[in-house]
Chains A and B, each alone.
Chain A
Amino acid sequence: MRGKSVLARRSALPVLGLFALPVGWAFLLLIVPYGIMVAISFWTRQFPLFVPDFQFGNYLQLFSDPQYYTVILRTAKIAALVTLAATCLGYPLAYYLVFVIKTERLRALLYMLVIVPLWVSYLLRTYTWKTILGTDGALNSALKWLGVIDQPISLFLYNQWSMVITLTYIFIPFVVMPVFAALENIPRNLIEASEDLGVRPFGTFLRVILPLSAGGVISGATVTFCLAFGDFVAPVLVGGPDGTMVANLLQSQFGAALNWPLGSALATVVLLIVMALLWLSARLDRAGRVALG
Chain B
Amino acid sequence: MALEGVSKSYGAVQALGQTDLVLNEGEFVTLLGPSGCGKTTTLRMVGGFEFPSTGRILIDGRDTTYAAPFDRPVNTVFQDYALFPHMTVAQNIRYGLTVRGANLSPAEVSSRVEHALALVGLSKFADRRPAMMSGGQRQRVAMARAIARRPRVLLLDEPLSALDVKLREGMQVELKRIHRELGITFLMVTHDQGEAMALSDRVVVMQAGQICQTGKPEELYDSPANPYVADFIGGANLVKGVWKGRDRGRDRLALGQGQAEVQREGHAVAGLSEGAAVLIGLRPDNLLLGDGPNAISGRVLEVLFRGDRIRIEFTPRGIAAPIFAEVPRAALRDLQNLGPGSPVTFHIDAADILLFADEVAK
Contacts and interface: CB of A to CB of B under 8 A. Distances in A.
Direct touching of A and B (C-beta under 8 Å): yes
B96 interface: yes
Interface in B90-123: 95-96, 99-102
B149 interface: yes
Contacts, number: 79
B70 A199 contact: yes
Contacts of B68: 195, 200
A192 B86 contact: no
B78 A203 contact: no
Contacts of B95: 194, 197, 199, 207
A207 B101 CA distance: 16
A192 B76 contact: yes
A196 B85 contact: no
Interface string A280-293: 00000000000111
Interface in A163-200: 187, 189-190, 192-200
A211 interface: yes
Contacts of A291: 85-86, 129, 131
Nearest to B129: A291
B102 A198 contact: yes
B200 interface: no
Interface residues of B, number: 30
A189 B80 contact: yes
A200 B85 contact: no
A117 to B, nearest CB: 33
Nearest to A197: B96
Contact of A293 (B75, B129, B146): B129
A69 to B, nearest CB: 39
A84 interface: no
Contact of B86 (A195, A196, A212): A212
Contacts of B227: none
A38 interface: no
A278 interface: no
B281 interface: no
Contacts of A200: 68, 70, 99-100
Interface in A137-174: none
Contact of B70 (A187, A190, A195, A208): A195
B82 interface: yes
A197 B47 CA distance: 11
Contact of A212 (B69, B85, B102): B85
B76 A196 contact: yes
A192 B69 contact: yes
A212 B78 CA distance: 19
A196 B74 CA distance: 8
Contact of B85 (A194, A197, A292): A292
Nearest to B91: A207
B132 interface: yes
B102 A190 contact: no
Nearest to A202: B100
Contacts of A198: 70, 96, 99, 101-102, 149
B129 A197 contact: no
Interface residues on A, range: 20 to 34
A153 to B, nearest CB: 46
B184 to A, nearest CB: 15
Contacts of A190: 82, 84
A198 B146 CA distance: 11
A184 to B, nearest CB: 15
A248 to B, nearest CB: 43
Contacts of B79: 189
B145 interface: yes
B129 A203 contact: no
Nearest to A189: B82
Given A192-B69, A211-B86, A292-B86, A197 B99 contact: yes
A195 B96 CA distance: 9
A196 B70 contact: yes
Nearest to A186: B85
A49 to B, nearest CB: 58
B48 interface: yes
A193 B86 CA distance: 14
A187 to B, nearest CB: 7
Contacts of B75: 196-197
Nearest to A292: B85
Contact of B149 (A197, A207, A292): A197
A193 B76 contact: yes
A293 B70 contact: no
Nearest to B86: A211
B78 A192 contact: yes
Interface of A: 187, 189-190, 192-200, 203, 207-208, 211-212, 291-293
24 contacts: A187-B82, A189-B78, A189-B80, A189-B82, A192-B49, A195-B48, A195-B69, A196-B47, A196-B49, A196-B69, A196-B76, A197-B145, A197-B149, A198-B70, A198-B96, A200-B68, A200-B100, A208-B84, A291-B85, A291-B129, A292-B85, A292-B131, A293-B85, A293-B130
Given A197-B96, A197-B145, A292-B86, 16 more contacts: A187-B82, A189-B80, A192-B76, A193-B76, A195-B48, A195-B69, A196-B47, A196-B70, A196-B76, A197-B75, A198-B96, A198-B99, A198-B101, A199-B95, A292-B129, A293-B129
Instruction: Please give me the 5 A-B residue pairs with the lowest Cβ-Cβ distance, nearest first.
Output: A293-B131, A197-B96, A193-B82, A195-B69, A189-B82
